Structure 1
Amino acid sequence: MEEGLPLSVAAREVLAERYLRRDRTGQVVESPGELFARVAAAIASVESRYGQDPTSWALRFEQLMRDLTFLPNSPTLMNAGTEIGVLSACFVLPIEDSLRSIFGTLADAALIHQAGGGTGFSFSRIRPAGDLVGTTGGRASGPLSFLRLYDTAADVMREGGRRRAANMAVLEVSHPDIEAFVAAKHDLQELHTFNLSVGATDRFMRSVVERERFELVNPRTRRSAGHIDARELFEQICEEAWRSGDPGLVFLDRINRANVLRSVGRIEATNPCGEVPLLPGESCNLGSINLARLVERGCLDRRRLGEVVTTAVRFLDDVIDAATYPTPETEAAAHGSRKIGLGVMGLAELLALRGVAYDSELGIRTAANVIRTIAGHAVRASEQLAEERGPFPLWEVSTLARRGRRPRRNAQLLSIAPTGTISLLAGTTAGIEPVFAVVYSRQLLGAAHLEVNRAFETVVREAGLWSTDLLDQLAATGSVKDIDGLPRAIKRVFRSALEMAPAWHVRMQAAVQRHVDAAVSKTVNLPNDATPRDIGNLYRLAWRSGVKGITVYRDGSRPDQVQRRLAPAGSEAAVAVAPTFSGGCSARECHY
């Protein structure tokens, strides 16, 4: 029986296509309710290690998922309780400057992709093209050649998997091949399994502002490889991002100032969508709370929110023990730091149901207060788990211990993922993104699905304004701004991602980032007529605002967008709107 499961038609189709178990003939042999029961039982099974009753915790976990109040990342939904067992959404894998390391990591990545996970890499340690290869006396082909090799392998792996492979490639801005890296996706057919991010340092950004020359450094010798004009490189980055969404920027100095395990190593890369900067070998163990499910009569149920956060932190900590890992190194890294990434989805709907505009000072403050509340509950939950189970093994060498903090079970707690797929399952807006459109067509599994924003329908029905005529008008535009008969307040609250000034996207990301110990996945949506100079202004604003990375996407800059507004009346082609996820992955469905 599937009583009480509030799943849309699109959600059920995605579950059947990618998540529900199949027999050897390919027939689906599991219902959505049975999926949630399978996942809950598999994760709760580790509770017995800590003297707890697995059955009671399985019931609590299952109810959160059945209510669509909390969902873990896709690999957990797919693999928990199956023979695969890899439950993390993604891994950051190390690449050293040797063929053994490069091809060994490639093999590890293939195993992760096979299980439905994504991978992030720093190619910064590979010697530049043309550099000396001492063992042969020849010349190196450089990081771009190996990046293309990884892309080809990921493309091959996705043919037999349930999801498209997703990767992140980071190259530090001081690498001699940085200009070639920036232009690597100038041809939109290239590197389509990869998002690209330039590892920008504070020194580089200051050089951009001051119009100074910037030193390049050979990673093999650590010696200078010459200088470039920082402003010219920055403008090239902005030009390419204007063209395709890639590359984004990750601010490495800021990331490492927040690295609580800096004595263990320096963070050089992130997961595919940028919300989890990780040390080599570490993995993303993600799950998100559906904020829209916690709103009653326009008010956030803060007591219930605290309960959900506490249970979700426990669930994610259990995932670490319940999971299997592709290599001994990744297992050791996961257990050493026990990092989790609790995030949210449905923020835009929460704001709308409370009558608050996303692009307003009140919207920014409300979002920050909600995330700060979640952070407080998450810290207390992790401290309680540390009392029950012990802190993470690397606790003593962490900066948290050195600052005299109470022991925690997890070195990292919050991460705002893009939630592209699980927000579809939950029937809410993705991550902290604004409303995409109140009515839109989603390209999914080769078919177009018409979707109406649930919060909009709720508000309009409560106002007594819902009608088939209104739906027809919205289906022609996807926007409320020109609809006669709708109150100004409703039009203001349901302003879409492209109808607000792009700076509001950055401000929202920065406000949330202040209370998130990992990072925030957020796409800054730009209209089609935005310029590379506009992007440069946003990149500088992001750096000044304290975010850990930034991605922009200009409407219509790629032909294969996942989400589209419906065509205006009388037109032949749909008007494309940016997908609401980060990391430049506009060519494909979001990974989570």
Structure 2
Amino acid sequence: MSGNSKHKGSISEIEKRDGRIVDFDQQKITDAIHKALVAVSVGNGKRAEEISNRVVEILEKRFEDNIPSVEDIQDIVIEVLEEEGLEKVAEGYSEYRVKKIEIRDLKEELGIEDEPKLTVNAWEVLKKRYLLRNEKGEIIESPSELFQRVADAVSKVDEDYGMDPDESFREFFEVMSKLEFLPNSPTLFNANAPLGQLSACFVLPVRDSLESIFTAVKNTALIEQTGGGVGFDFSEIRPEGDVVKSTMGVASGPVSFMRVFDTVTDVIKAGGKRRGAMMGVLRADHPDIEKFIEAKSSEEDFLNNFNISVSVTDDFMEAVEKDEKHELINPRTDSVVEEVDARDVWEKITKNAWRTGDPGVIFLDEINRHNPTPEVGEINATNPCGEVPLLPNEACNLGSINVSKMVKKVDGEVEIDWEKLERTVKIAVHFLDNVIDANEYNIPEIEKMVKGNRKVGLGVMGWAELLIRLGIPYDSEKAVSLADEMMEFISKKAREKSVELGRERGSFPNFEKSVWSENYEAMRNATVTSIAPTGSISIIAGCSSSIEPLFSIAFMRNVLEGDKLFEVNPWFERLAKDKGFYSAELMKKIARTGSIQEMEEIPEDVRRIFVTSLDIDPEWHVKMQAVFQKHVDNAVSKTINLPKDASVEDVGDLYKLAWELNCKGITIYRYGSKKEQVLTIGEGEGELEFTSAESEYSGGAMSGICPVCG
């Protein structure tokens, strides 16, 4: 397909949309046609070249004495596709063309230059999920207006503290519109909108009574209705078979009550935007722990709205190491009911995680060693994706900095722009603190706890692209060292801003009961950092999820309306063109597996930088999580993705490594261990020819997308 890359006919120049005259390059037409053909499964390089040649023939006849514009060429492409009987391809090409115009207008509006282009899928996600609609379902705001709406709602809080909100509005709007920082999805959904609930993450108490259980069910419904996700510790519920004195009956146990929460979530589409999400936690010493571990092991659709995690103590982990007994304790009587082999419980955890991805593990002692308000209460549960351990009736506001944009060029070399990063961190902490006051709370107990501790969680996204831009392999000590340096810097600057806000506005009410009162005179927020799975906001920002590696170099995207788009990582595509090894056929070849590691036609140094999640030894995933955790107040949500042939022993080793490296929890996913997953590796033929990803997947857990954290 390289033969027509520089056309030698009468057409030598074209007019760009901005009026510039540039050299005509037929290869660009061929590549665009090829992608359109591939998207509807009728494509090959030869067919694309034939259609491209026909387009050029028509151009030469119609523009013998004139210079054609980009629009002229695209009109003829559609004309030829229709002549060839490829109406579906023509329709897709035409729709794609319109969307690209919309995106170009948006980029101009946001002042985004010299960056990888916003994807069509990002535009679709914004329109489908985030932009406000009227009663007829018609979109009534642009992306720019979305960011204005959010910036306006959040900056107004400054008036309550005697400050002028105009400067904050400009700062908040700038970092969002340039896609340098984005808050969690509920803030984007609901700011200055009817629901008004801006938090992503909640933990609700579940005590050992029907009143408490069904109060939690009701409050879960209210939270999910507004777009939030909820975590629970079910460890206080008496075990199955235990006595119920009030009715002289027999208890059904915590797993049976989890089904009630699951059913309620099934019928409530979170915030009218997406499904709800929950985290169910049970202590390893609960008598029903084996039933809990195996709750999601069948092929039945059971507890599909739950992530589940076993909370383990250091004593339990040491009992596993020493092959000792482990006590199971009835929470109703606080008495030992049985002694079991700790390793037997551990092996059931790792075997079921290997089979289905559940359960994960939460390291309870490590979490509470870093509990900022131990006098207020003990932490026993996390939000749905595990990045925020919370007290009962507590919530947290999250946001993420796109670190791939925190760079500058010095003498032609890319390096981190530490000044820009500091400024963005401090704007983001100010923003997230304001969200606490801008929020509308529909449960009084939550409002009291949230405003008592004022926890926020600032994290990062685009980590994989940052490493690529710096030329650093993800699975390297250099990458781990940079993560250590960068997250320490972010944490330090976030804390500085919280201290500044504490002096100006007052510390969080529980400050004197917190660990911070020993060394600080003021602190606005009990926590300031958290690494969330950024999901949809990564799609909007055009970057990889959170601290995850790339999931694929080239792939087919299943977009929201059921269409398909052929996507190539923009940094790889740019580098391939710069180094002269780009071709549409090569991109198609890469898309079959998503990986380039076995492709000798690609330079070795490029292959070393562009590694995907399944290319990387799983231990590097854990090391990366652990080094970020060193400098994070809350926790790190990261999925340790494993190849299909990983063993149960591999899972156990990784879980132990996470404990040894002081992670607060761990989740693994072995490829293919669930019947449905959001990333499917191509098999080279038929419907499964290409690697495919769902519309809002940007990396991390292949079993599903967190619908609330990002």
User: What TM-score does the superposition give when structure 2 sets the normalisation length?
Assistant: 0.81
Q: Which residue of 1 aligns with 2:534?
A: 419
Match status 1:305 vs 2:305: no
Distance in 1 between residues matched to 2:693 and 2:134, nearest whole Å: 38
Distance in 1 between residues matched to 2:608 and 2:702, nearest whole Å: 29
What letter is aligned with 2:253?
A: G
User: What's the offset of the Cα at 1:435?
Assistant: 1.1
User: Over the residues paired in the alignment, what is the CA RMSD in angstroms?
Assistant: 1.8
Matched-pair contact (CA < 8 Å) for 1:428–1:453 = no
Match status 1:138 vs 2:249: yes
What letter is aligned with 2:546?
A: G
What letter is aligned with 2:503?
A: E
What letter is aligned with 1:416?
A: I
Match status 1:166 vs 2:286: no
What letter is aligned with 1:485?
A: E
Q: Which residue of 2 aligns with 1:430?
A: 545
Where 2:276 maps in the other structure, the secondary structure is coil
Instruction: Give identity over the alignment, percent.
Output: 48
Residues 47-80 of structure 1: CA deviation (Å, up to 9, x unaligned): 1111221122111101111111000000000000
Where 2:274 maps in the other structure, the secondary structure is coil
User: What's the offset of the Cα at 1:355?
Assistant: 0.5
What letter is aligned with 2:531?
A: I
Match status 1:79 vs 2:195: no
Pick closer, same or farther for the CA change 1:262–1:449 going to 2, 3 Å: farther
Pick closer, same or farther for the CA change 1:441–1:472 going to 2, 3 Å: closer
User: What's the offset of the Cα at 1:476?
Assistant: 2.9
Match status 1:248 vs 2:360: yes
Pick closer, same or farther for the CA change 1:571–1:449 going to 2, 3 Å: closer
1:561 to 657, 677, 681: 677
In our comparison, the structure showing a higher alpha carbon Rg is 2
Q: Which residue of 1 aligns with 2:113?
A: none
Distance in 2 between residues matched to 1:375 and 1:141, nearest whole Å: 45
1:196 to 308, 311, 334: 308
Residues 405-436 of structure 1: CA deviation (Å, up to 9, x unaligned): 24211000100001011111111010000111
User: What's the offset of the Cα at 1:453?
Assistant: 1.8
Of 453-462 and 150-159, more deviation after overlay is shown by 453-462
Structure 2, unaligned stretches of length 5 or more?
Answer: 1-104, 111-116
Distance in 1 between residues matched to 2:351 and 2:691, nearest whole Å: 23
Q: Which residue of 1 aligns with 2:93?
A: none
Q: Which residue of 2 aligns with 1:10?
A: 121
Where 1:180 maps in the other structure, the secondary structure is helix
Distance in 1 between residues matched to 2:220 and 2:127, nearest whole Å: 26
Match status 1:511 vs 2:623: no
What letter is aligned with 1:558?
A: K
Where 2:614 maps in the other structure, the secondary structure is helix
Where 1:170 maps in the other structure, the secondary structure is strand
Matched-pair contact (CA < 8 Å) for 2:226–2:270 = no
Distance in 2 between residues matched to 1:237 and 1:496, nearest whole Å: 27
* 1:44-193 paired onto structure 2 within 5 Å: 44-158=155-269, 161-188=272-299, 189-193=301-305
2:407 to 291, 295, 311: 295
Distance in 2 between residues matched to 1:385 and 1:12, nearest whole Å: 35
Of 209-218 and 288-297, more deviation after overlay is shown by 288-297
Matched-pair contact (CA < 8 Å) for 2:591–2:690 = no
Pick closer, same or farther for the CA change 1:172–1:443 going to 2, 3 Å: farther
User: What's the offset of the Cα at 1:379?
Assistant: 0.8
Distance in 2 between residues matched to 1:310 and 1:160, nearest whole Å: 29
1:387 to 499, 503, 527: 503
Match status 1:335 vs 2:447: no
Where 1:499 maps in the other structure, the secondary structure is coil
Pick closer, same or farther for the CA change 1:52–1:379 going to 2, 3 Å: same
Q: Which residue of 2 aligns with 1:262?
A: 374
Matched-pair contact (CA < 8 Å) for 1:502–1:524 = yes
What letter is aligned with 1:181?
A: F
Distance in 2 between residues matched to 1:536 and 1:576, nearest whole Å: 29
User: What's the offset of the Cα at 1:439?
Assistant: 1.1
Matched-pair contact (CA < 8 Å) for 1:477–1:569 = no
Q: Which residue of 2 aligns with 1:344?
A: 460
Residues 357-396 of structure 1: CA deviation (Å, up to 9, x unaligned): 1101111101111111111110111111111111111000
Matched-pair contact (CA < 8 Å) for 1:263–1:398 = yes
Q: Which residue of 2 aligns with 1:440?
A: 555
Matched-pair contact (CA < 8 Å) for 1:119–1:166 = yes
Q: Which residue of 1 aligns with 2:325?
A: 213
Matched-pair contact (CA < 8 Å) for 1:555–1:576 = no
User: What's the offset of the Cα at 1:459?
Assistant: 3.2
User: What's the offset of the Cα at 1:571?
Assistant: 7.7
Pick closer, same or farther for the CA change 1:574–1:147 going to 2, 3 Å: farther
Matched-pair contact (CA < 8 Å) for 2:669–2:702 = no
User: What's the offset of the Cα at 1:496?
Assistant: 0.8
Q: Which residue of 2 aligns with 1:470?
A: 586
User: What TM-score does the superposition give when structure 1 sets the normalisation length?
Assistant: 0.96
What letter is aligned with 1:294?
A: M
Matched-pair contact (CA < 8 Å) for 2:388–2:530 = yes
Where 1:325 maps in the other structure, the secondary structure is coil
What letter is aligned with 2:537?
A: I
User: What's the offset of the Cα at 1:25?
Assistant: 1.2
Q: Which residue of 2 aligns with 1:396?
A: 512
Matched-pair contact (CA < 8 Å) for 2:131–2:141 = yes
Pick closer, same or farther for the CA change 1:497–1:72 going to 2, 3 Å: same
User: What's the offset of the Cα at 1:263?
Assistant: 0.7
What letter is aligned with 1:432?
A: I
Where 1:423 maps in the other structure, the secondary structure is helix
Matched-pair contact (CA < 8 Å) for 1:166–1:193 = yes
Match status 1:451 vs 2:567: yes
Residues 275-323 of structure 1: CA deviation (Å, up to 9, x unaligned): 0000011112000000111123421111100000000000000000000
Where 1:498 maps in the other structure, the secondary structure is coil
